[in-house]
Amino acid sequence: MAPLAVRFTDESTGDPKSWSWMFGDGGTSAERNPTHTYTTPGTYTVNLTVNTETGSATFSRPGYITVTAPKGDVTGDGEVDIGDVSKVAYMVVGKEPADLAADFNGNGAVDIGDAAKIAYFFVGKIEAL
């Protein structure tokens, strides 16, 4: 679930001189064993190029990392916020097509109970004025 911190480990043999990691979300690293944090939900391909004195080798893992959205994040921005409450409310009143991924109370429909559940998650983030 986003954000997701992942520790990568190079297990190359021989005498590697340098490393070039590409994490699939625009992030890169030149460390041998980096940690990278994915902040956006999605599926990511990870590439590692290892350089030695005699050449280089690139290893690719398509679709290796899958990051899911936090429960209640119906807008897909990685956070539960007022936008999510609004989107579900629009689904409830019919101004936006219902998406069963927003059915958080599990009754098979998007209804006011789902909006209330997302609002509950969001309210926990609001500071008292």
Instruction: Render pLDDT for 8-47 as a digit per residue (tens, 0 to 9).
Output: 999 998 889 999 999 999 999 999 999 999 988 899 999 9
Residues 6+ apart with CB under 8 A from 92: 110, 111, 112, 114, 115
Each residue's pLDDT tens digit, 98-111: 666 666 667 777 77
Task: Name the pairing type of β-strands 35-38 and 42-52.
Answer: unpaired
Cα 102 to Cα 83: distance, rounded to the nearest angstrom: 13
Q: Could you tell me which residue, 3 or 31, shows the higher pLDDT?
A: 31
Name residue 60's beta-bridge partners: 47
> pTM value?
0.63
Residues of the chain with CATH 2.60.40.10: 4-67
Q: Is residue 72 within 8 Å of 32, Cβ to Cβ?
A: no
Fold of 4-67: Immunoglobulin-like (2.60.40)
Residue 94: enclosing H or E segment and its boundaries? none
- The pLDDT, as a whole number, for residue 55 is 93
Task: Tell me how far apart the alpha carbons of residues 23 and 45 are, in angstroms, rounded to a whole number.
Answer: 7
Q: For the segment 45-66, what is each residue's pLDDT rounded down to a tens digit?
A: 999 999 999 999 999 999 999 9
